[in-house]
Amino acid sequence: MTTTREAVLAAVADLVLGLPGRPVRVGVDGLDGAGKTWFADELAAVLRDLGREVVRVSVDDFHRPRAQRYARGSSSPEGFYLDSYEYDRFRADVLDPFGPGGDRVYRSAAHDVATDAVLDVEPRIAGLDAILLVDGIFLHREELRDHWDLSVYLDVPRSVTAARMALRDGGAPDVDARYVEGQRIYHRACDPAGRASVVVDNSDLARPVIVRP
């Protein structure tokens, strides 16, 4: 069983490199606090060390403006699940350019969540052999699930993710019910662990375990 972090990253990198076609699109999904950004950044580093071009994008740079995100109310779990992200633009700016017949001309961000500014970033062009590597929540929604050549779900108990977020944010391990319940809606509707190509138990950051395949 693969249980060291380096071995898990190497095993997932091998799966990515074995994907047919070019370029390829890889998503890293999981609860808030599951370690998605860290995992995706480290996987990108492994792939780059192997000589591949990697384009790193986060779905968090495709939030909708604040007024749209909170249109159902500031405490609405449904609003968190349904209204957080601008999926049409995310597909147009990121996923479609890397898909079959795409021109590989992409934009890596559409919104600054801190300032609530809508962005118009300069487009870039990726190489034919590039690997698009995206991290974020809700990546196995119906709007996105068929766009991944490979997807990873980081499986971490909610108690662990809450403690990590508290450490990250400098507070008590208590997560806003809007986010918790919104992610429960997602799990009930989409079964992301069931839809993912690869499931990694990332409860122990030093010793994750690939539980599927």
pTM (2 decimals)? 0.92
Span 34-51, pLDDT tens digits: 999 999 999 999 999 999
Neighbours of 162 (CB within 10 A): 18
Q: What is the CATH number of the domain that holds 112?
A: 3.40.50.300
| Tens of pLDDT, residues 168-200 | 665 544 457 888 899 999 999 999 999 999 999
Scored b (16 or more CB within 10 A) or e, 43-53 reads bbebbeeeebe
- Identify the pLDDT of residue 21: 83
Instruction: Kindly state the DSSP code that residue 70 receives in the 8-state scheme.
Output: T
pLDDT of residue 208: 94
Strands 124-125 and 105-106: antiparallel
Q: What is the pLDDT of residue 174?
A: 45
Q: Are the C-beta atoms of 197 and 152 separated by less than 8 Å?
A: yes
Catalogue the E-assigned strands of 52-208.
54-58, 105-106, 111-112, 117-118, 124-125, 131-135, 150-155, 198-201
Q: 3-7: long-range contacts at Cβ-Cβ below 8 A with a sequence spacing of 24 or more?
A: 3/207, 3/208, 3/209, 4/206, 4/207, 5/42, 5/205, 5/206, 5/207, 5/208
How many folded domains does the chain comprise?
1
**Calpha distance 141→121 (Å, rounded):** 26
DSSP-derived secondary structure letter, 65: P
Residues of the chain with pLDDT under 50: 172-174
Domain span including residue 47: 5-212
